[in-house]
Structure 1
């Protein structure tokens, strides 16, 4: 399904010995979220991503939280990345590139996205503390790496300013959401074209 067709939708189910995750994604949504991961701050970030990306996302995860939050966070990134890739189809008619610069109080984050088919994450973000709530701040990078590897995105996320870990994380998620929203939009000047001189965005 290409960007001129509606709705661009995906359903993904992924079950391992560590997690059981089900997700439904609509790219051309209204920002509606039904998120239950068992990790409160991750829920908060995924709701923000959904709202600012104008996605509709229902995601339920049951993970081995008695160990830690790593598997659940990473696997949610895997599933969301797979859903984005599936919903994009052959990527006909999309803008392909997106960027956003988002402030969150003293924090400022920039995200640039290329729906290239060549997965790569450049993560230039630091946190002043190890946790936000009960969530390890190192897991934000793991989430985005899992997402971009499975969606086939080139993503650069850069912290421009910020000391409050909550604000820094939220600015990163909102910047990603806004950049993704731009990149997946239909280009009205080339509604049926693959935006590549190679004629393919499969890497």
Structure 2
């Protein structure tokens, strides 16, 4: 399945979580109903043969057992849902990362980098330092042509996917246009979005 935008991926994720949650909830409700029916039947048989005080004790015991069982099942379900959510998030961001890596091999990527660098060089007029991923160093000459002022290019091991970091030391400005940083921000926003938290 292919996703063209982060929104589509988020919609897929929301749908998958909702489906898994509903299935787990239905299973829990069915188990609870079975336990309840079983316990009620046993209680009715006991009530016929025992005094009222014994029945009262059995009801208390059943309620306690039922509460413990319900709590245990809810905890188990929450753990399963959280693991499923984590697996989906991990798979989603691995897929996004692979698509971004694929994109960095296209001519569109190079053109987009040139446009951004040209735009930034028109906004900041001091000398700059351009940091690129080692794999993008082959684009350095073309990117330098897009820069209006003086610029030095350096490879940066922290950039794994692609993009660039542009530093203007005189202006004390660092602009991070890396896909690594963007993907990290998106992941943090994904976790922070309360609609995506399973309760």
TM-score interval w.r.t. the shorter chain? under 0.3
TM-score (ref. length: structure 2): 0.26
Bigger relative CO (Cα 8 Å, ≥ 6 apart): 1
The structure richer in strand per residue is: 1
Point out the structure with max Rg over C-alpha.
Answer: 2
TM-score (ref. length: structure 1): 0.26
